[in-house]
Structure 1
């Protein structure tokens, strides 16, 4: 029976003291019996946690009590065993590395598309304005190979720092189209959409990423599974671990 609650979430928000915050969050998480990873940077927080349901939700609620994290949303899934071996809290230069310091989502997001809206666009192949819709996968190539949206553009990048150069080379192909960038949970496609809009592309981000789409819509227009960075390896559109993986 799946009894371990897994949550993932991120928020671009100004953190002036990530180094001071690190031991505070680690102490709270360890005391709650949680395992996983929390990344902190001046631009925000990114977390993947698992544990007993009340403990996980209690930790997230306490985190949201801090005004900096009040807008944090998380996506939930379940497993039969703990998918993480340790509880790590790390301070990074960026919570998702792009190496473009001018891209600052905490100062303002790109427009987002709700999963239900995206499904409607994909059903017809066009948005409400009649423009063709292009899905752009911003994940690394090995992640894409586990599964992706049908017909999505994949630049076969090996790390997210390669995204800006790949985008610059493809801007001409995206002109006159509605581009929806997507990734696992939303963090990469949020930066990607801002970068694309600054390059003149009519770009949007998929709200909640692939996991948010699975949660709200299911597997429509999707083939395969979604890679996740824990021992479950990948999730089905039903947010269950892939076949053959005990989780």
Structure 2
């Protein structure tokens, strides 16, 4: 049996892009020439991308992106599939690369919360506390239907319908976080990066805030998926990935099949 031929990548970076419209044209032209499919979102705050195609073509496009010094350190997460899981190529300029509707949260201008490596989170969850003996809670920042596919054991899930509801949910539940080490997480890192900055701005007493570096997908890549139950929903035709970053064969689907944008 041959190895899967299609390389899937996902990446994001919060970085000032005042030229995002011109950049959109260059990136679209190159991706189109290479026959790639997927979505690239650009905004003044940065880039968010999901692309697929033959491995050499995908890496050629990434090299083109990295030629811009602002993206020189971009390190996409990779997985493989038998077929391209996208129907078309979209390269768009948006107000935000991940919509929060909270203009004060600009990761390209603010200091990000400390990023917690996957191996450290796995160790903390196994021992039941962080290295200072403080209780650890994982905070799922994804939409409710995504959480229903799978999440960390005992993760906090506020059943939000879209990410722009996250700030209000924090205000309703902030007391439940105080005095604990909070690790926010999401699919690939972009939502939990904004979420962690918002949490830091709340000045919760005696409450260290982290974001899971690279999100669930990086956790799958660097661990065996310990302490995670179920699969990870992805916004493409694969639907969900297992801890080996392969399309999940056993999926616990939510009651509603209405998949909304993050």
TM-score > 0.5 by shorter chain: yes
Aligned pair in 2 of structure 1 residues 173, 78: CA closer, same or farther (>3 Å)?
same
Determine helix, strand or coil for the equivalent of 2:172: helix
2:234 corresponds to which of 180, 204, 228: 228
CA contact (8 A) 1:119 1:221 kept: yes
Determine helix, strand or coil for the equivalent of 2:108: helix
- CA–CA distance in 2 between the matches of 1:241 and 1:102? 37
- Equivalence map 1:6-45=2 (5 Å): 6-45=8-47
Runs of 4+ in 1 over 4 A off after TM superposition: none
Unpaired runs of at least 5, structure 2: 252-262
1:165 corresponds to which of 156, 165, 168: 168
CA contact (8 A) 1:178 1:203 kept: yes
Determine helix, strand or coil for the equivalent of 1:106: coil
Unpaired runs of at least 5, structure 1: none
RMSD: 1.1
- Match of residue 193 from structure 1: 196
User: Is 1:217–2:220 an aligned residue pair?
Assistant: no
- CA–CA distance in 1 between the matches of 2:224 and 2:91? 32
- CA–CA distance in 2 between the matches of 1:58 and 1:177? 44
1:66 corresponds to which of 65, 68, 80: 68
CA contact (8 A) 1:11 1:71 kept: no
* TM-score, with structure 1 as normaliser: 0.97
2:145 corresponds to which of 139, 142, 150: 142
- CA–CA distance in 1 between the matches of 2:224 and 2:35? 31
Determine helix, strand or coil for the equivalent of 1:10: strand
Number of corresponding residues: 245
* TM-score, with structure 2 as normaliser: 0.92
CA contact (8 A) 1:16 1:42 kept: yes
- CA–CA distance in 1 between the matches of 2:13 and 2:214? 11
User: Is 1:105–2:111 an aligned residue pair?
Assistant: no
Determine helix, strand or coil for the equivalent of 1:189: helix
> CA-to-partner distance for each residue in 1:103-148, whole Å, 9 max, x for gaps?
1111221111000000010001100011000000000000000000
User: Is 1:115–2:118 an aligned residue pair?
Assistant: yes
- CA–CA distance in 2 between the matches of 1:63 and 1:48? 13
